[in-house]
Amino acid sequence: MYPQLNEWQIRHAQKQLRLNPDNPKTWSKLYGLYQQGAKGAEFAAFCREIIKIHPDNRQAWNFFGLAAKDTADPSGLIDFYRQVVELHPTSTRAWSELDQIYENCEDDTEFATFCQRIAESHAGNLAAWMRLAQIYKRQGKNAEMLSAVIEILKLKPNDAQAWCNLADAHAACGQYEEAETAYRKATELKPNFLPAWNSLGNVCHLLGRHGDAIRALQNSIAINPDDASPWVWLCLAYAEMGDLKMAEDAVKKVEKRLPLVAAMLTEALTQRLDDGASQIDTQALAKKLTFVSP
């Protein structure tokens, strides 16, 4: 093929895509032309140009993935994705690409710093605050996580998941009364919200209000009878109230899904039966089992 003709066809296809970047046939044609000329790096550069203008263009991202896998180093990709997010801080695709890059990083402090900068420079940026909350949770920075979740709630005041996240953050900080209030708000907004009912039962137990815990957990069971988590907490609540028969019945519901947890509960109940003077330390067990999931 004549090099000049190839160059002309490339320029023509680029012009078409600048006018209509969603045309898959033109993208495929341009990709083939660049391959013929062994110009993968140039094609990747054109894809970047389109993405910076149209950050959620699926075709541009797909073809950039094909071009960049052999021509771009990871650090260069991170810099590019950051540029796109800074230009378009609400772009779902750009944030998702950053997520994938940082997913396997052992230290996500750098990502947290970037997200913090976006949150501070773009008021009300939900994507940045949501990632900050997740990062702080992984890092065990409970106070910082709580602050991030509060910012999310300001943006989504009627979202049940946001209230549940706030409650989780309070619980992680040991603020169980505040967690209870937030879980109850989540269940008001979404009456069949199973995780909120389960966790509400958890915190009520940790607060020593076992009757309230039982009522919350019974709501969980009504929503999903096959979920083992509420039965774990019911066992603890019944044991705390001295109803060992109901506690044993609850353990039987746990055995199929969580056999190791059931063995731990059975051991505690057996010890209680063998020595009527001793009490099961349900608070200690509860803290070990907090937020158990099947």
43 neighbors 70 (Cβ within 8 angstroms): no
DSSP H stretches of helix in 141-258:
142-155, 160-172, 176-189, 194-206, 210-223, 229-240, 244-255
Where does the pLDDT of residue 107 fall: very low under 50, low under 70, confident under 90, or very high at 90 and above?
confident
End-to-end CA distance of the chain: 62
In this predicted structure, the answer to whether residue 41 has a pLDDT above a threshold of 60 is: yes
Where does the pLDDT of residue 82 fall: very low under 50, low under 70, confident under 90, or very high at 90 and above?
very high
Six-digit token pair at 9? Answer: 């066809």
Where does the pLDDT of residue 67 fall: very low under 50, low under 70, confident under 90, or very high at 90 and above?
confident
In this predicted structure, the answer to whether residue 134 has a pLDDT above a threshold of 60 is: yes
Mean pLDDT of the chain: 87
Question: Out of 49-63, 140-154, 251-265, 278-292, which region has the weakest mean confidence (pLDDT)?
Answer: 278-292
Q: Residue 38: left if φ>0, alpha if ψ -120 to 50, beta else—which one?
A: left
Q: Where in the chain is the domain with CATH 1.25.40.10?
A: 109-191, 193-294
pLDDT of residue 274: 58
**pTM > 0.95: yes or no:** no
Q: At the fourth CATH level, which superfamily is domain 193-294?
A: Tetratricopeptide repeat domain (1.25.40.10)
- Type of residue at 140: G
Share of the chain above pLDDT 70, in %: 89
CA distances, 259 to each of 5, 64, 238, 251, 271 (Å): 70, 48, 19, 9, 18
CATH, domain range 109-191: 1.25.40.10
Q: How many residues does the chain have?
A: 294
- What confidence tens digit (pLDDT) does each residue in 200-255 have? 999 999 999 999 999 999 999 999 988 888 999 899 899 888 888 899 899 999 98
Does an H or E element contain 233, and which? Answer: helix 229-240
138 neighbors 148 (Cβ within 8 angstroms): no
In this predicted structure, the answer to whether residue 293 has a pLDDT above a threshold of 60 is: no
77 neighbors 85 (Cβ within 8 angstroms): no
Residue at token pair 């590019």? 80
In this predicted structure, the answer to whether residue 65 has a pLDDT above a threshold of 90 is: no
